[in-house]
Amino acid sequence: MKIIQNTFKYFILFSLFGIFFAQSKEFPNKPIHLVIPFAPGGVTDIGGRYIAQQLSQKLGVEVYAENKAGASGNIGASYVANSEPDGHTLLVGFDGTLVINPHIFEKIPFNTMKDFAPVGKIGDAALILLANPNLAAKSVKDVIALSNKESKGLSYATSGVGVTPHIAGELLKQKTGANLVAIPYKSGGQALIGLIGGDVPLAFTNLAGATQYVDSGQLKPIAISAKSRVSSLPNVPTFIESGFPEISVMSWIGILAPAKTPRAVVVQLNKALNEILNSEQAKEKFNSLGIIVTPNSPEAFSEQIKTDLNLYEKIVKVAGIKAP
């Protein structure tokens, strides 16, 4: 009987030692799951998969990307928020999901500031205001003047309700008094098709999808929302240059872990991410997606998320935007 008791005691001790060893082993000690909260094929998906591939090489473990789409990114974000906070489950975070959705959805399954540990920002994507070539406007001031001559206002296409281009249009409306009406499409591509076909006179959209249409003369650029001109369209002025300094809206993506992820793990992930983003290969890759890489610290990324949450809350409230 004593032999059995001793055997059981040693079994328990070895089991506890095994658990302790597994937990104390340096990160990462298993494959990393990178969740992309949107369907395949978009900028967030392409950029996220590139980061997964590069992180695999940096960290020496498999980093596999998985699309968990639905509810404007809420499903994928909620999945990560409720995952084990050990750094092995990460989110490709998008500003629309994290700082706009909390204000336009009646209920949301996560708290942006409490449920995530920001790792670092990947980059910023500029937005552009486009016009159908037949619209008699060449500048932002022209658009505002024309809109106020129309009793029903000028409509502008967006890729959906509450997305960053929609917010940019509402900001322009609120800051300038322009009489603009948002027309949501199911995607940015469909919004551009509607603009090219003359169904709408204007569109706010991500720069990446618009460049080819501007270069071909199918669409007329009015202004971009970046703080400075972009290399892909160097002749297009910013809203700031056009006399509207408050119209500076950038769509961003970054990497986040669940809250309570150990600080040392977050720092290690941030270091690996920034090394990737500082490479010329990464800069070229993201530039092709219309994204300017902006590597930063977890603290700086967290502060931007907090700032944007407050900024967009005010814009959404005034505009009365609600998720469909």
The answer on 206 and 217 residing in a single domain is yes
Q: In this predicted structure, what is the pLDDT of residue 16?
A: 46
Picking from 122, 119, 138, the residue whose alpha carbon sits closest to that of residue 32 is 119
The answer on 273 and 309 residing in a single domain is yes
Residue that finishes a domain, picked among 224, 241, 275: 224
- CA dist., res. 49 & res. 63, Å (int): 9
Range of the domain at 136: 126-224
Picking from 183, 171, 188, 176, the residue whose alpha carbon sits closest to that of residue 146 is 176
Instruction: Find the CATH number of the domain harbouring 148.
Output: 3.40.190.10
> Domain for residue 8, yes or no?
no
The answer on 131 and 89 residing in a single domain is no
Instruction: Find the CATH number of the domain harbouring 269.
Output: 3.40.190.150
Q: In this predicted structure, what is the pLDDT of residue 25?
A: 58
Tally of structural domains, the chain: 2
Number of helices and strands (H, E) in the chain? Answer: 12, 10
> Domain for residue 138, yes or no?
yes
Given a contact cutoff of 8 angstroms between Cβ atoms, the answer to whether 111 and 285 are in contact is no
> Domain for residue 41, yes or no?
yes
Q: In this predicted structure, what is the pLDDT of residue 273?
A: 98
In terms of C-beta density within 10 A (0-12 exposed, 13-18 middle, 19 or more buried), how is residue 259 classed?
middle
Picking from 253, 244, 219, 248, the residue whose alpha carbon sits closest to that of residue 233 is 219
Q: In this predicted structure, what is the pLDDT of residue 47?
A: 93
The answer on 108 and 152 residing in a single domain is no
Q: In this predicted structure, what is the pLDDT of residue 289?
A: 87
For 123-146, the DSSP string reads EEEEEEEEE-TTSS-SSHHHHHHH
The answer on 117 and 29 residing in a single domain is yes
Which amino acid type is present at position 315? I
Which amino acid type is present at position 258? P
Number of Cβ within a 10 Å radius of residue 235: 7
The answer on 90 and 74 residing in a single domain is yes
235: tokens are: 């002749």
> Domain for residue 7, yes or no?
no
> Domain for residue 297, yes or no?
yes
DSSP state of 20: H
> Domain for residue 68, yes or no?
yes
The answer on 270 and 304 residing in a single domain is yes
In terms of C-beta density within 10 A (0-12 exposed, 13-18 middle, 19 or more buried), how is residue 307 classed?
exposed
Which of 303-306's residues contact partners 24+ apart within 8 Å by CB, and which partners? 304/121, 304/252, 305/98, 305/99, 305/112, 305/113, 305/118, 306/113
Given a contact cutoff of 8 angstroms between Cβ atoms, the answer to whether 157 and 183 are in contact is yes
Given a contact cutoff of 8 angstroms between Cβ atoms, the answer to whether 225 and 247 are in contact is yes
Q: What is the pLDDT of residues 258-308, one digit of tens each?
A: 999 999 999 999 999 999 999 999 999 998 888 999 999 999 999 999 999
The answer on 99 and 33 residing in a single domain is yes
> Domain for residue 172, yes or no?
yes
Number of Cβ within a 10 Å radius of residue 208: 21
Kindly give the pairing relationship between strand 116-131 and strand 202-206: antiparallel
Chunked into runs of 10 residues, the chain (324 residues) has average pLDDT values of 50 45 69 95 90 97 96 96 98 96 95 98 95 96 96 94 94 96 92 96 91 94 92 92 93 97 97 98 91 96 96 94 91
Q: Is the dihedral of CA 309, 314, 315, 316 positive or negative?
A: positive
Q: What are phi and psi of 162, to 5 degrees?
A: 80, 5
Residue that finishes a domain, picked among 224, 240, 272: 224
Q: In this predicted structure, what is the pLDDT of residue 5?
A: 52
The answer on 132 and 78 residing in a single domain is no
The answer on 112 and 256 residing in a single domain is yes
The answer on 95 and 35 residing in a single domain is yes
Strand partners, 254: 93, 121
The answer on 176 and 155 residing in a single domain is yes
> Domain for residue 18, yes or no?
no
